[in-house]
Amino acid sequence: MKAPSVLLVDDEIDVLCALADELRGPFDVTTARSAEEALDLLTPGRYSAIVSDVRMPGLGGVELLRRAAAIDPMLVRVFLTGYGDDAVHDAANSTGAYKLRKPWGDEVEILLRRAIEQREQVAALGVEIQGYVTFEQGRPGDPEVTAPQILAHLRATLEAIPDVDRATIEPAPALTADDRWIAAAGPTRQPGPERPWLLEYLIEGPEKRDLRLRVQLRSEPTEIVSRFADLAVGRAREALRMRSLADEVRASVDEAERMRTRAFQSERLASLGALASSVAHDLATPLAVLRANREFVSQWADHVRETREVPDDSELPGILEDDRLALETAVGILDALRSFASSQVVKTTCALPDLVDRTLRLVRQAQRRSGVSVVTEMRDPPLVSAVPLEVAQILMNLVLNAIQASPRGGRVVIEAEAAEGGLARVRVRNPGVVPAGIRERMFEPFFTTKPSGLGLGLSISRSLAARQGGELDVQDDSDQTVFVLTLRVA
């Protein structure tokens, strides 16, 4: 029979040669002076085991064994190290490797023999191992075998072997890391206190607790009895491991479902928050108009009450008209909210000059406070097919942004004209160029450069433009920023 192939890795040439000399014969040995050299040699199925030093220049042994496991999951992995600290122990646990200390003895060969033998049994009996997980393989709805049932089945199997007197399973005493790795590779054979011979195995039970399996025999075990017992224990170990993995997968799926539910709820709350912020943002301008006009009317009424004189009331008709437009705009925002919910868009024929005039009346106070002039340049714009109040809302957001971005004494220009392809185009210009990094993000919800802004105006405006079947974009023109609203001609 061909000797199992083993790859030895150590940066100390004396240690590497001594270990190779000891293992050559029982094993087909290949050596490597570094982790990088070992990785170049590794291919799936080429080696039965790899024995590596932990601390080496460059890539260390821990990372080497992790990568080796990814290349060949069935590869037996062993740490051989002179360090006994917790870090090395944790590394062995995290990589699923065995750990032995330098200087070594016969335990290296013993461990490799047992681990490779078990590896071959597991590979050959993988299909049969599945039978321990479900009573009848491939039948949906059958109950899953539990860990206690697997252990009971193992006891019954062992006690059915000739010369076996009794099999017992109990919690294992506290073990050192080295004891655990060696015991997990195979049984310990020793004379028993009550019977001539005793086989002891270490098994990882439910919740990863170590269990000690004692098989008491009536006489010295033959090779056939020992191999049959080893085989039964090996299958049970794999079944318990698969049972544990299945429980972990189920727990992970349950946790993922809980996280998905929480994420869905959080997303809904975030959507409601964004919607509330959007409505608050859009209502801010008409409410500001109403608040300012109320103060003017209140002061006018107080003057009349105190002096019994009626002052100049020439502004009252304009103020009342502004209030009407502000209220109409607020109602339109609420109507738009309802239409969003029903996904219905009811368009009518709109005159762009009328919508621009409405916008200028609503932003008049902001314009006065800023000292910015707003002019219009209409080039016989055609009638458009849109929702009038939503287009007015877009224009109001664009003009307010342009006023706020302009220096005192600056000039904002609103242009409207026909465009090719049955389209109408509205441009809002203001002095200054938007930096590229900001221009790329300015339509994102909640992105803003203003200390007290919500960052929703442009995002809402682009959404409203899309609802009209149009587009909203921004571009630079010399030393100006230009927002371009495109709408369909009626």
Query: Right CATH number for 131-262 from 3.30.450, 1.10.3210, 1.20.1070, 3.30.559?
Result: 3.30.450
State how far the Cα of 394 lies from the Cα of 287, in Å rounded to an integer. Answer: 17
Decide: 403 and 412 in contact? Cβ < 8 Å. Answer: yes
The Cα 69–Cα 269 span in angstroms is 44
The β-bridge partners of 190 are 198
Q: Which residue has tokens 């032995």?
A: 100
Calculate ∠ Cα 194-197-198, nearest 5°: 85
Helices vs strands, H then E, count in the chain: 15, 16
Q: Where are the domains of the chain?
A: 5-124, 131-262, 345-488
d(CA 134, CA 148): 14
In CATH terms, the fold of domain 5-124 is: Rossmann fold (3.40.50)
> Which structure tokens are listed for 189?
């054979």
Q: Does domain 345-488 have CATH number 3.40.50.10240?
A: no
Q: Nearest Cα to 426, choosing from 351, 366, 368?
A: 351
Q: What angle do CA 381, 385, 390 make, to 5 degrees?
A: 100
Contact 462, 484 (CB under 8 A): no
CB 76 within 8 A of CB 23: no
DSSP letter for each residue of 181-194: HHHHHS-EEE--SS
93/75 Cα distance (integer angstroms): 15
Spatial distance between the Cα atoms of 424 and 409, rounded to a whole number of angstroms:
30
Widest distance between CA atoms in the chain: 126
68 vs 238: CA distance, rounded Å? 21
DSSP code for 79: E
Burial class (CB in 10 A: 0-12, 13-18, 19+), 483: buried
**What's the whole-model pTM score?**
0.39
CB 238 within 8 A of CB 230: no
Note down pLDDT in tens along the chain; length 490 residues: 678 899 999 988 988 898 888 888 889 999 999 999 999 999 988 998 998 888 888 888 888 888 888 898 888 888 877 665 566 666 666 666 777 777 666 778 888 888 787 767 655 544 443 444 333 333 434 446 778 888 888 888 888 776 788 888 888 777 666 555 555 555 555 554 554 577 888 888 777 788 888 888 877 777 677 777 888 888 888 888 887 777 777 777 777 777 776 766 665 555 555 555 556 656 666 766 677 667 766 776 776 677 777 666 666 676 666 666 667 666 666 665 555 555 566 788 988 888 888 888 877 777 788 888 888 888 888 898 888 888 888 888 888 888 888 888 889 999 999 888 889 999 999 988 877 777 778 777 766 777 655 566 777 788 888 888 888 988 877 788 899 999 999 8
